[in-house]
Structure 1
Amino acid sequence: MPVPEFVVALRTKIGHAPLPLSGVIAVVLDERGRVLLVRRSDNGEWALTTGCLEPGEQPADGARREVFEETGVVVEAERLLSVEALELSTAPNGDQVHWLAIGFRCRPVAGTPRVNDDESVEVGWFAPDSVPPLPAHQARCLALARAGDGDPWFAGSR
């Protein structure tokens, strides 16, 4: 997966030390209630579309950008789902990241799903009863998106 240039520049100064980064999780639901998933190229697992925000990028814009970059689908961000600090993660190269994950429910407005970059090897729509296992924070975002127009979920708020 390509590492954003600003992260590469920071890593030259801090090495593998924990780096706080903001990211987005996009739950794309079509008119039939299916969810758009990508099979990641780094671990072969199915996942919601996720990605790192660029410095100064608005989170909803980042969600739209990431979905298009990974799937070729143009989406509209409909509402905020969640805001959560994830556990410290370590990349295969040793880089450590503290992610602040911001989840959005999105709807497709144009495009046909396809593998659109090297971050995924497969893209597809999944019916609610056929979604493969997802990481806990992504499964939570999916459940919140399917629940309708409720309040956003914040870790520690409930």
Structure 2
Amino acid sequence: MRRRIVRIATPTYTLGSVVLVMDEDRTRLLMLRQPPGRRWSLPAGLLNRREQPVEGGRRELAEETGIEADLAELVPADPCAVVHTSGRWVDNVFRLVRDPATTEITVDGHEVWDAAWHPVDDLPEMTRATAKLLAHYGLGPLAAGDPATEPPAAA
């Protein structure tokens, strides 16, 4: 009975992995358009049970873009985790360097409608969650220093 009460009272967290795929100079960012909306997001997804964050990031990247990466190529971003929605959702964030000119991207048209490289200083309209996440890395409309937008919320 005590174990059941603890399980009910203990907060739960949703864990995911996100991959920031950028060129060597960090001037272009790979973004995805996924159903149901028209706004852009990043290669990302929820972790499977007992899956390591870096493995989940690699899996989601391959599923959504067709890009295969070695685990060693996925470097933890700084910060390496971003907490969303009052601490109930945590994204593990990784960086991957790829050349937009030579990287072949494949989307299935169901889970991902479109994938494209965008200049980091002219990113397309994106989901609110993506904008909040990118702000932690000084990117996107909510990044500190952009006078046209509000400052990013504290993590």
Maintained 8 Å contact 2:82/2:133: no
Aligned twin of 2:134: 139
Runs of 4+ deviating beyond 3 Å: 108-111
Q: Which has the larger radius of gyration?
A: 2
Q: Which amino acid aligns with 1:24?
A: S
1:102 and 2:103 aligned: no
Maintained 8 Å contact 2:43/2:64: yes
Provide the C-alpha distance between the structure 1 equivalents of 2:49 and 2:138, rounded to a whole number of angstroms: 29
Deviations 1:64-108 (A, max 9, x none): 1111100111233122333232116xxxxxxxx931111111123
Mapping 1:32-71, distance limit 5 Å:
32=25, 33-71=27-65
Aligned length: 122
Deviation of 1:141 after TM superposition, in Å, equals 4.7
Identity %, equivalent residues: 29
| TM-score, normalised relative to structure 1 | 0.64
Mark the CA change 1:100 to 1:112 in structure 2 (over 3 Å): closer, same or farther: same
| TM-score, normalised relative to structure 2 | 0.65
Maintained 8 Å contact 1:27/1:141: no
Mapping 1:91-130, distance limit 5 Å:
98-108=88-98, 111-116=103-108, 118-130=110-122
Cα RMSD, aligned residues only: 2.8
Point out where structure 1 has 5 or more consecutive residues left out of the alignment: 1-17, 89-96, 145-154
Q: Which amino acid aligns with 1:31?
A: E
1:28 and 2:21 aligned: yes
Maintained 8 Å contact 1:42/1:119: no
Aligned residue for 1:54, secondary structure, equals coil
Point out where structure 2 has 5 or more consecutive residues left out of the alignment: 1-10, 140-153
